[in-house]
Structure 1
Amino acid sequence: MNIGDRVRLLRSTEEGIVRKISSSGRIEVEIEDGFTIPALKSEAVVIHSAEEAYFGKKEEGIEEEKIPLPISKPKDQGLYLAFIPINDQNISLYLINDSRDGYLVQCTEVFGTNHRTLFADKLLSGESKKFDDRILKQLDEWPAFLLRFFPIQTQLGPEKKPFERKLKIKASQFFKHLGEAPLLGKRGYLFHLEQTTQDLDVQKLNLELENIKPKPITEPIKKPAQRIDLHIEELVQDPTGMSNSEILRIQLETFEKNLNQAIASGMHEITFVHGIGNGVLRKEIQKQLSELRNIQYFKDTQKDKWGYGATLVRIS
């Protein structure tokens, strides 16, 4: 397999041209509309070497007809999570309400037992709202999305129940959802949110919230170390076989725990060593820091020792 070969991905029906081959066995394949998707070299087969011997080459000037994938849509519902490409590297996330009803919507991303709210607002009938941007090549590292919908009933009638949907996007299925996004009029990857939905038990949810009580502090809060190393080798005994998302979850949990302890114990500053890598951990840490009121400032630090692979946090 070489750069420029036309290949088919074994786990899906996508075909494209190999644009990059790395020494780790990963490739980047350019599919239709100029989008590039990552894959393992072992998951792709060169088309011309296997098929032309049996079927011959296609006649020049005759293009294979491309039939867009159908998107099922119930009569009265049309709620979508849409991923609209900005270019071949970046993608925007939208919530689309092409139904007759309005909703209060909450969308969170889920890292194991940790949640972070990305969107919480009204989504009225005929509205679409952008709420985030992502890097397409990091698709395998995206956390799961949890979406909760509470119907807005402006007229007296039978109760419409809230419901929720949890999605974990997988590359092998993601690119099969290509179609035109309702209301936006743009090509993208669409996930219909009424299929296999689960009713949301509001009474149970309220009961869980009532039962959540702060644990009494029985002993003084222990100050964390002045420097916290977040490299996974320092946090677990054997990281072999761990996925990138699991590693990121453990690193963020360690960061949050030590930052909370630093704030509660009255420390003035603390340094988190996250390394350079692909920048995902640094970005997540600094995003969380930017949302906290009791942080005076934070900055990249100690280039000579960690090559700007550390963040100094000044606590106000």
Structure 2
Amino acid sequence: MKKGDKVRFLSEIGGGIVAGFQGKDIVLVEDEDGFQIPVRVNDVVVVENDDYHVNPIAPEPKSHEEKDYAPAGRPVTFRAEPEERRGGDALSVYLAFIPVDPREMTRTKFEAYLVNDSNYYVAYSYLASEGANWSMRSVGEIEPNTKLFIEEFDKEGLGTLERVAVQLMAYKRGKSFMLKPTVDVQLRIDTVKFYKLHTFQENDFFEEPALLYTVIENDQPSRPLVIDAKKLRQEMARKASNDVGPQVVRPARKQVKDEPVVVDLHAGELLDTTAGLTAADILNYQLDVFRKKMEEYKNHHGAKLIFIHGKGEGVLRHAIIHELDYRYKGCRYQDASFREYGYGATQVTIK
């Protein structure tokens, strides 16, 4: 049985298309209305056509001890609660990506899963950034100590996953529990990694190698992808105070017409020190400088701006290209002159 197979239920009328799996024992069957129904693998059978309205297989008669003592005319809907495990009351949730065909990394599709490694039920929403706005990609509930398939995408869809958000609310059913704060975490997905097979590693949750991003681990959320304004104010104040003192007054340099505006986004040029700042803090500050400069020149038609971001791992350049594609669609961009700026610079032309 695999995704896309047509199946019908053994114990009741109906069926649908296999949309995914929850662990090894549960299959998600999508009915004609688009609802995904979790069913045990042993309770469905693959069929060749769409005729799901076959009388279900009648169960063997039960002994007196096995009878279902339910009110007349009502089906028995009891379902055992998932078993809890020791150490599972600390909330841990991961976002996982798996290549469908690892032998064809340049062409393969990818599957995305949420892994709930805790004794809590988790209501989740999974969103992707569209410039300043967000789009919902999946929403639902994950049972304790399970993983849930949420979507499949190809290489073209990678561009829409550079920045994602996962929101979580944890709870238990039928018993008291320790209240967990709601989780709202933004993650930057390095799409370059999806072209490298060694990116996908052996792990405790899947039989095949996977790329895991931590949403929350042992009740500690992954650091949100937002800038720490307090830290940045402190750094900027320190830089300003260090600049106070005897200044050499130089005549203002007149900008030649059509000469490009050069903006160096290296952290060492923007901040006096990066002590206490994470890579995410620095990246967000660099992008903030980029946006302010773009806003300053957005009405200067024909103006050319050179953003020096360096080569490195390409994270800052990738983030700038994403901003240009979604926030500043009317602008043209290209690699800046290698002779003048090296490999790590992008030229933007305001239209």
Question: In terms of Rg, which structure is larger?
Answer: 2
Q: Same fold (TM over 0.5)?
A: no
When the two structures are superposed, what TM-score results if normalisation uses the length of structure 2? 0.38
When the two structures are superposed, what TM-score results if normalisation uses the length of structure 1? 0.42
